[in-house]
Amino acid sequence: MVVQNVVWAVCIILMAAVVGVFVWVADGASRHVVDHTPLTAAAYRLRPWLFLILALAMIGANWRTLIELPYQAVASAKALAAPVQRVQVVGEQWDWRITPNQVKVGTPIAFHVTSRDVNHGFAIYDPSLRIVAETQAMPGFDNVLRYTFEQPGTYQVMCLEYCGLLHHVMRATITVVPR
Amino acid sequence: MSAHAGRADIAGARDGETAARAVELAYIAVAAIVLLLMMLFGLTMRATQAQYLDVQPRLFYVLLTMHGAGMVGIAGVAGAVVMWHFVRRHVPVSTTVFLANLVLFLIGAVLILGSGFIGGFAGAWTFLYPLPAHSNGVWSANAAAAYMLGLLVIGVGFLLLHLDVLRGIWRTYGSLANGLGLKQAIGLAPEKTGPPPAVPAATMASIVNVLGIVIGAVVLILSLVNLYVPSFTMSALVAKNLIYFFGHVFINATIYMAVIAVYEILPLYAHHRWNTNRLFYAAWVASTVMVLIVYPHHLLMDFAMPPWALVVGQIISYLSGLPVLLVTAFGALTVVHRSGLRWDVPSGLCFVGVLGWAAGVIPAIADGTIVVNSVMHNTQWVPGHFHTYLLLGTVAMFLGYMTWTAKEVPHETIGTEPAAFWLYVGGGIIFVVAFLAAGSASVPRRYAVHLAPWLTYDRIGSLGALLVVLGVGIMVVQFLVRVPALARLPTTTTAQPLPEAAAE
């Protein structure tokens, strides 16, 4: 399941629903009722239920999504104890140095990402040009991004934090080979 | 009091109203012209990404920087005139301070435009430390300094304006808590005794913007020192926190100021007072807190941040959507529903403004979810969601206020306004959906040159942008040609009835 596809579909459906409600109300606005009070009262009786539905949806979404955080500081002891391959990533206007830049499918990788000058964004694109993981490359900080490649191929690294004139050409590749 | 003194007071009050009216018109005109100019910059960037235009990266990134800074600044000016126009019906505010803010804005704008188009500064509107000092020879320290000084000058103007508004609210209501309606929110006072809707909105926007601008000034000054004394450094993470706190608060405050147009104008059409009940006041109190603590959702990919702060950023992102959806959007729908309202361009724009805000919250919340941000951060999803609630939210509210003001002077070209409305709304929807679709396809934001697989999104987005520019351009020109007549109107004519006058 591609996260981006799910997010796109859910957001478009919900946004369309909001638009639909507004269009329905706008379309009926010209019809005048002499005493608006009962309508207003009915609308305000509806609001607590709407609040409850939204609150439950939000609690559910947070409960589901906060279980899986990409941060090493909250990684489980088991995950931290598992053997990983270390890959050093250094960003510098306008190039990436990735050592090594060839890894194996199924091997957990710990990318240690930093920068020698300004902020950069380290984003890994799969061969179909979809982002699979990212973190920021910041001067003075070592951001650890853990990721396990599931498919072999040539993955592109692009900079996703604006860093000056040649930001858009700050690219590199990572080759993922079968075990 | 003698009859002579009485006449002098009335004449003085009329002069004051005339001066206030003139400054308001100047604000609207400046906001409209700069808005259109910045939209042209935006259209140029989208057309360049679509390969319809051949703009070199050096100029592209200058346009990117000017577009970002210009839009944020002009959204502030647009929000400020809406807030000031309506809040001065309830509290005393200074026309001199209001004018000073506009003058300082123009001085700052000249510095910023000079930094970009003369000095070549292209550090993005966020001036993310230490990029301004690391241009790799593209721009000088002086150019970066001119940009940051420009922001500082603009910040001083807004700080004065917000302090003056807060002073007026304090004087009238006894405290800022009373201006927010805190007593009504927690049940210590009857709902009916609370302030009118413009006041909590102005109180909230002014409180948060004072804090945001002060923090912004701190990081601007530190960055300025770093430009000329490179040995003076600061943590890139601390600087990022300060910048995003300032940026988030300032841009959100523009919406909270502009929404006052909805609270005040829609009820005039619908003949129903905006219902300022306990939930309304509670929402504004809650929003005051939430807008100050939600900014870590901009830093979800900064793994060096404390995880608890990022978790708070996600949770507050979700919660901050509730007041918008349940109070302002629900309130607008309730006011309009079966009201007998006869739609025209101003009322339609105010309504669209709420729609854009409510709809834009949805992709924004998605982006504020850590696992989603891990694959969508800094893609075009981000301009997709913020253009939804800024272009189709704040800007729509401002245009609603502008066209409502212009309605006082009939004009023979008025028949083109509905067409302009639909060009703007239709183009805006195409424009933001193209951004969101591109974001879901991982297209990066802020790239001067796009890869071939991304061009379809860029071309559709360019079409949307073109339609928006045409629609807004027509509205702006129609407003500008009426400005002389609006300025000549007697102030008694220009004073609009209070919503209370049209209450049930």
Query: What are the boundaries of each domain within chain B?
Result: 22-502
B397-407: average pLDDT = 95
Q: Which residue of A has its CA nearest to B323?
A: A51
Amino acid at B259: V
Q: Which residues are paired to A102 by β-bridges?
A: A175
Quick one: which H or E segment has residue A134?
Answer: strand A131-137
Using a pLDDT cut of 90, give the percent of chain B over it.
Answer: 86
Question: What is the torsion angle, in degrees rounded to the nearest 10, for the CA atoms of residue A34, residue A40, residue A42 and residue A48?
Answer: 180
* pLDDT in the model for residue B9: 65
| DSSP designation for A100 | S
CB B431 within 8 Å of CB B377: no
ipTM for the assembly? 0.95
Report the C-alpha gap between B399 and B412 in whole angstroms. 19
* pLDDT in the model for residue B493: 39
CB B479 within 8 Å of CB B417: no
Minimum distance, in Å, between the CA of residue A22 and any CA atom of chain B:
7
Report the C-alpha gap between A75 and B99 in whole angstroms. 54
* pLDDT in the model for residue B2: 56
Q: Does B136 sit within 8 Å of A134, measured CB to CB?
A: no
Of A18, A39, A132, the CB nearest to B359: A18
* pLDDT in the model for residue B501: 33
Of A10, A144, A165, the CB nearest to B57: A165
Report the C-alpha gap between A149 and A139 in whole angstroms. 27
Residues in B closer than 8 angstroms to A116, CB to CB, are none
B185-194: average pLDDT = 93
B330-350: average pLDDT = 92
Instruction: For B39-59, give the DSSP string.
Output: HHHHHHHHHHHTTSS---HHH
Parallel/antiparallel/unpaired status of strands A131-137 and A95-99: unpaired
Query: Residue B7: which pLDDT band, with cuts at 50, 70 and 90?
Result: low
At B167-181, the pLDDT tens digits run: 999 999 999 999 999
Minimum distance, in Å, between the CA of residue B356 and any CA atom of chain A:
9
Report the C-alpha gap between B361 and A18 in whole angstroms. 11
* pLDDT in the model for residue B269: 93
Quick one: which H or E segment has residue A155?
Answer: strand A153-159
A158 lies within 8 A of chain B by CB: yes
Query: Residue B225: which pLDDT band, with cuts at 50, 70 and 90?
Result: very high
Report the C-alpha gap between B52 and B46 in whole angstroms. 9
At B254-309, the pLDDT tens digits run: 999 999 999 999 999 998 888 888 999 999 999 999 999 999 999 999 999 999 99
Residues in A closer than 8 angstroms to B65, CB to CB, are none
* pLDDT in the model for residue B494: 41
How far is C-alpha B235 from the chain's CA centre? 29
A164 lies within 8 A of chain B by CB: yes
What does residue B374 show for φ and ψ, rounded to 5 degrees?
Answer: -60, -20
User: Please, what CATH class does the domain formed by A73-177 belong to?
Assistant: mainly beta
Query: Residue B413: which pLDDT band, with cuts at 50, 70 and 90?
Result: low
Count of CB atoms situated within 10 Å of the CB of A33 = 12
Report the C-alpha gap between B353 and B424 in whole angstroms. 12
Average pLDDT taken over every residue of chain B: 93
Place of tokens 């694109």: A125
* pLDDT in the model for residue B458: 98
Q: Where are the domains of chain A?
A: 3-65, 73-177
Report the C-alpha gap between A98 and A101 in whole angstroms. 5
What does residue B129 show for φ and ψ, rounded to 5 degrees?
Answer: -60, 135
At A59-85, the pLDDT tens digits run: 999 999 998 899 988 887 777 888 899
Residues in A closer than 8 angstroms to B342, CB to CB, are 30
Amino acid at B24: E
B368-396: average pLDDT = 97
In chain B, % helix, strand, coil (3-state, to 5) comes to 80, 0, 20
CB A111 within 8 Å of CB A145: yes
What does residue B206 show for φ and ψ, rounded to 5 degrees?
Answer: -75, -40
Within chain B, how many helices (H) and strands (E) appear? 19, 0
pLDDT in tens, chain A (179 residues): 899 999 999 999 999 999 999 999 999 988 877 777 888 888 888 888 988 998 999 999 999 999 889 998 888 777 788 889 999 999 999 999 999 999 999 999 999 999 999 999 999 999 999 999 999 999 999 999 999 999 999 999 999 999 999 999 999 999 999 98
Report the C-alpha gap between B287 and B313 in whole angstroms. 14
How is residue B112 written in tokens? 């910023």
CB B461 within 8 Å of CB B46: yes
Query: Residue B322: which pLDDT band, with cuts at 50, 70 and 90?
Result: confident
Report the C-alpha gap between A160 and B95 in whole angstroms. 44
> Quick check: helix, strand or coil at residue A94?
coil
Q: Which residues are paired to B123 by β-bridges?
A: none
pTM for the whole thing? 0.94
The CATH architecture that domain B22-502 belongs to is Up-down Bundle (1.20)
More confident site: B116 or A78: B116
Q: Does B453 sit within 8 Å of A70, measured CB to CB?
A: no
More confident site: B411 or B406: B406
Torsional sign, CA B160, B162, B165, B167: negative
Report the C-alpha gap between B102 and B124 in whole angstroms. 23
Report the C-alpha gap between B294 and B317 in whole angstroms. 6
How is residue A47 written in tokens? 């609001």
Q: Does B325 sit within 8 Å of A165, measured CB to CB?
A: no
Question: What is the torsion angle, in degrees rounded to the nearest 10, for the CA atoms of residue A54, residue A60, residue A63 and residue A69?
Answer: -80
Amino acid at B53: L
* pLDDT in the model for residue B498: 39
For residue B490, pLDDT beyond 90: no
For residue B126, pLDDT beyond 90: yes
For residue B497, pLDDT beyond 50: no
Minimum distance, in Å, between the CA of residue B139 and any CA atom of chain A:
10
A55 lies within 8 A of chain B by CB: yes
How is residue B319 written in tokens? 């919660």
